[in-house]
Structure 1
Amino acid sequence: MSYPEIYVLRHGETEWNAARRMQGGLDSPLTPLGRAQARAMGRALAARGITAVTHRVLTSPQGRARATAELALGPDHAPEPRLREIAMGDWSGRDRAEIDRRWPGPPGEHFLDFYARAPGGEGFAALWARCALLLASLDGPAVLVTHGMTSRVLRTIATGGGRADLAALPGGQGVVFRVAQGRHELIPAPLAGGAEAG
C-alpha cells in the first residue's frame, strides 16, 4: 500500500525519559533538553519548507507530544488518539531497574520483546492495527508527532515492512524521520550551538 509523505517526530526528552521510567499512557514534562530538541526539530522541518500550512500536523493527545508539537510547529495541530504511546500496563510509571528486578526477562532480551511482555500492556498487535488505520486514513502529506514505539511501528508500516523489521529502523529523540514512497530518511536536527540531539 502507498501512503502520503509523512514526517515523524518523537517527543523531546522528558523527566521520566531521563530517569529511565516507563511512561506508556502516563506523562511527565519535557526537560530543558527536550524543549531544545523540539525547537531543533521545528528548525529542521522549516529548513525543508515543512509547516502546518504545507502538511497536516497530527499529534498524540499525550502532553509530552503536544508540547513538542507546539514548540516545533506552533499551535496549528490536531490531537490524534491513534498516535498515543504503546500502553505499558503494570510497568507504567516504574523505572527500568524495578521492572528488571520484579519482572526479569531472559538474558540478552531484545528491546522489542521487553515491550511486548509488559503485564497488562497493549501489545504490538493492537499498536500495529491502530497505526495501520491511521496511515490508511491520511489523505495528504502529514507531520506526525508521537512516541518511540509508535514512531517505529508507523515508519515500519509506511516502508512496507513487517514486525521483524521494527528493530532495523533507527530511533532516538531530537531527530526527524521522513517516509515517502516507501523510502525512509533520517533528518538530523542540530541543537542551537551546533550539537546534535539524540
Structure 2
Amino acid sequence: MFAEIYLLRHGQTHFNAERRLQGQCNSPLTDLGQRQAFAMGKTLAKQLGAQLNQWQIVSSPLGRTKQTSELVCRGMGVSAQQVIYDARIQEVGLGDWEHEQIEQIVQRHPAFAARNDWYLEAPNGESLTQVQARLREWLAEYQGQQLIVVSHGLTGMILKAMLMQQDDEQIWLQERPQDALFHYRNKQLTKIAVDANYLHETLELPTMSASA
C-alpha cells in the first residue's frame, strides 16, 4: 500500500451549488471553489514544508479536478506541469442522472431519502464493483509512493474505504468536504481542515479552462 497519501476533493462547482449531479460530466469551479482549492494547496505547503518536492501529485482528468489541481499547485508554490492525470480516479459515472438536480431524483424515488448509497442506482451508471476495480488497479500501480491525490466526492469515499479496509456499507457514512483534506498513513486516516484565513486571502484568480 501507499507509504503516505493526501486525498483532496475538488473545490465547489456551479453544479454543487445547484445540488446538481455531475458524475463524469463537468461544471467549472465557483469563486468559492477556486479559493477552496488554493487554500488546500496552502495547507499542504504548511504540512509538508521542506519535503514538498518529494510528493507526486495525481489528479482526475475531469475539468473541475484539473482546475483544482492547478490551484492546489499554485497554493503549494510548485509547477502544475508535474501533475499526472489518471482517469482511474475520476468520479463515479452517474449515467442518465448526470446534470439532474438531487431533489428531482429523490422526488421520483422517495426511498432514496433514507439511503446514502442511492447514487449507485443511476441508469447506465457505473457499479460499485466497476469503480473498485479501477481504483484497485490504480492502487497497485502507485504502491509505496507518497502522493497528493485530487479526486471527487464519491470516488474519494470509495478510495478511503479501500485504504482503511472498510466494508461497503461504511463507504457511504463518510464525509466529503471541499474545505478539508484527508491524510492516510499506517492504516490511519486524519481529516485536516484548511485554515479559514486562506479562504479569505486576496488573490487574482486566473481564468481557467473547465473542459473535461
Superposition TM-score, scaled by structure 1 size: 0.90
Q: Which residue of 2 aligns with 1:98?
A: 104
Q: In the aligned structure 2, how far is the partner of 1:105 from the partner of 1:82?
A: 32
Q: In the aligned structure 1, how far is the partner of 2:22 from the partner of 2:112?
A: 24
Q: Deviations over 1:138-176 (max 9, x none)?
A: 141101100001111111111121212213432211211
Q: Which residue of 2 aligns with 1:22?
A: 21
SS in 1 for 2:184: strand
Q: Which residue of 1 aligns with 2:54?
A: 54
Matches within 5 A, 1:102-141: 103-106=108-111, 108-112=113-117, 114-139=118-143, 140-141=145-146
* 5+ long unaligned stretches in structure 2: 74-78, 201-212
Percent identity, aligned pairs only, is: 30
SS in 1 for 2:154: helix
**Is the 1:27–1:64 contact (alpha carbons within 8 Å) kept by the matching residues of 2?**
yes
How big is the shift at 1:99? 1.7
Q: In the aligned structure 2, how far is the partner of 1:5 from the partner of 1:25?
A: 27
RMSD: 1.8
The 1:107/1:48 distance shift into structure 2, 3 A limit, reads: closer
Q: In the aligned structure 1, how far is the partner of 2:191 from the partner of 2:39?
A: 14
Q: Which residue of 2 aligns with 1:69?
A: 69
Name which of structure 1's ranges 168-177 and 124-133 shifts more when overlaid on structure 2: 168-177
Report which of the two has the higher share of helix. 2
Q: In the aligned structure 2, how far is the partner of 1:92 from the partner of 1:58?
A: 24
Q: In the aligned structure 2, how far is the partner of 1:132 from the partner of 1:162?
A: 15
* 5+ long unaligned stretches in structure 1: none
Flag as ranges the 4+ runs of structure 1 deviating above 6 A: none
**Is the 2:56–2:147 contact (alpha carbons within 8 Å) kept by the matching residues of 1?**
yes
Residue 45 of structure 2 aligns with an amino acid whose one-letter code is: A
Q: In the aligned structure 2, how far is the partner of 1:168 from the partner of 1:104?
A: 20
How big is the shift at 1:72? 0.7
**Is the 1:115–1:123 contact (alpha carbons within 8 Å) kept by the matching residues of 2?**
no
Q: In the aligned structure 1, how far is the partner of 2:174 from the partner of 2:181?
A: 13
Q: Which residue of 1 aligns with 2:33?
A: 34
Residue 91 of structure 1 aligns with an amino acid whose one-letter code is: W
Match for residue 79 of structure 1 among 57, 80, 85: 85
**Is the 2:24–2:92 contact (alpha carbons within 8 Å) kept by the matching residues of 1?**
yes
Superposition TM-score, scaled by structure 2 size: 0.84
Matches within 5 A, 1:109-188: 109-112=114-117, 114-139=118-143, 140-188=145-193
